[in-house]
Structure 1
Amino acid sequence: MDFLGSEIVWKCAFLAVVAVAAALAARLLSRMLRRMLDASRVPSASIFVNLAKGVVWAFALLAVLQPVFGVQPTAFVTALGVSSVVISFGLQDTVSNVVGGLNLMVSKAVVPDDVVSVNGVSGVVTDVNWRATVVRTRGGTTVVIPNSVLNKNAVTKLVPWDASDCAVKLVVCADADLAEVERTIHSKAHKALRDVLVPGHTVEVYFTELTSMGIRCTVHLHVKGGVGLDAQRDKLVRALAGSSWLASATLALEEE
């Protein structure tokens, strides 16, 4: 009886020592990892810290299996491995997303504030977590993209001025002075949109096609990120409305 009691006490003491040691090791390792990851600016660094803690506690569990519970660690690991294979088949998409998230975080292929285009979705990355990447489109819609999709498809990173290209289509009458039209568009665009135009990028005017209605013209405005593109188009159209060289204005005068 005394032997049994002393054995139980010894097992409890051993279990307590291992638990305290694991807790201290997990705390120390998490602090070191968090400092390193914060310095490297890895997004969602907490997932790596939690994984490291999980590894420490897993080793602690293996250390007490035989002395305390009388279970062979090798048999436990084998059973766990078989169970993991079975579970992985059922959670294949989830595992793919988690692995993809870890890959994105470590490689920094996509980080918050990046402007990206993937699978027809374009916008600013607001968050990268262990399962999905969150993208905010120009219209303000939030799109949650599974990380496995990012890993399987080409991701295009856009520079800010490309992402903020605002195109306005016009029709100019066929006999208009195109040089004068271009100067007028430049002048009125800079006056109407001076607060949102990106410095260093000029307003681009292209005359692209001759039609029965007149000459098709496309104006490219490089505006700052985060502004509504439709609102900027509205400003330019209002500024140019009534110009004599617009095909619609010419047709209206002829009808009168």
Structure 2
Amino acid sequence: MSEFKEFYKEFLKHFRLNTASLILIAATILIGLIIMALVFWAAQKSAPPESKPEMVVTKKIPIQGQAHSSRTLPLPEETIQKPVFPVAKKKEEPPAEPLAAFLKAYKLQKYEASFSEAILSENFEEITRKIYKETGLMLIHLKSIPAAVENRFPTLEKLLLNPVHTRFFLFWKPTVYVSTYEDGYFGEEIKHLQIMLNKIDLYHHNIDGVVDARLTRSLVRFQRQHLLEQTSFPDPSTLFLLTVLSE
């Protein structure tokens, strides 16, 4: 019985020793595998991506005298059809009608219907009075447009039929207005008229503010030079053009 106990003790001692050794070996192998896996993962991550070889489109060209032989040449790039995608164009707004754009420039859009009727009838007296009374803007008619006017005022060009001629329209807020013009009349507005004619070298007499034949001749000469109606009176179109050209 004592011999069996001794044998059993030796067996347990030997078994414990071998078990510890096996565990140590297994742990060492496991740690080694983990280290190798980490090294491999790091190498894969830092490696540059593989570049794919470029595809070359080739075309076989037969060589004379060799029915079964051929050689391969690269196809020029310009012969390779590339997909073309349509470019969406920005939708443009249609241009405004000339009359609408003209009236909009002076903020007179609400008079478009009345102005259209005036153009059709070629009678502008009523619409001129209405717009002037409500806005202070005077409708000006001209047969030609000097550069000094064209660069400053939006204009509307229309072909009138009675008689046939081209008329230019614009609006102006008068800075001077002459209501009375007759021989011997005196007024500050007449003096202003004399000064403007003097500035454009058409009046070389006393600036006295009195209407006389010399002033009227200068006025008619100005109207004739600029294709204005020769009214012998400082009407709105004459005053407008005289004001702009004498500034």
Same fold (TM over 0.5): no
- Larger RCO (alpha carbons 8 Å, 6+ apart): 1
TM-score range, shorter chain: under 0.3
Which structure features the higher share of strand residues?
A: 1
Bigger radius of gyration:
2
TM-score, normalised with respect to structure 1? 0.19
Which structure features the higher share of helix residues?
A: 1
TM-score, normalised with respect to structure 2? 0.19
